[in-house]
Amino acid sequence: MSGYRLPAGGASSIGRVTAAPDRTDSSAPLRILLYSDDAAVRAQVRAALGDRVHPDLPPLEYVEVATAPVVIAHMDAGEIALAILDGETAPAGGLGIAKQLKDEIDPCPPILVLTGRADDAWLASWSRAEAVVTRPIDPLALAREVVRLLRAANR
């Protein structure tokens, strides 16, 4: 996923799949997929990260998703720089979806999972997610992990 840059697409969308990314514009926003069936969790993530998580990185654009099939569609389209998946979402939890994405998409964008308990970190390892943040969301911990993942993916 080296040099992966995504086109601007306006405001965040719920369930909209767009064209494949344009990898030539390094100033284009980085698309972050937020998967949770709870709109409050998605809002907490957006509030924690803001429009620009670090001055050295392009701005962020959010794609909010509440169902597993739409997550798969967006990830298959190749437009996502980072996926943040809520492990507490039902009926399809973010940990299981992370495992499926890592098994089926090559190369797969980095994945961060949100878990309900610190003891669930082993599940994140099983899912092959690159990072885990426990809920309630610590904005500094989330931002630190997102910056680390985006930098590593865009080298």
* Boundaries of every domain in the chain: 25-153
Residue 20 contacts residue 73 (beta carbons within 8 Å): no
Task: Per-residue pLDDT tens, the chain, 155 aa: give them.
Answer: 333 333 333 333 344 443 444 443 467 999 999 999 999 999 999 999 999 999 999 999 999 999 999 999 999 999 899 999 999 999 999 999 999 999 999 999 999 999 988 777 777 788 999 999 999 999 999 999 999 999 998 77
Which residue is listed with tokens 């654009």? Answer: 61
pTM recorded for the entire structure: 0.82
Q: Which superfamily does 25-153 belong to?
A: Response regulator (3.40.50.2300)
Which residue is listed with tokens 């980095």? Answer: 110
In sequence order, what are the residues at sequence separation of 6 or more whose Cβ sits closer than 8 angstroms to the Cβ of residue 123? 87, 95, 115
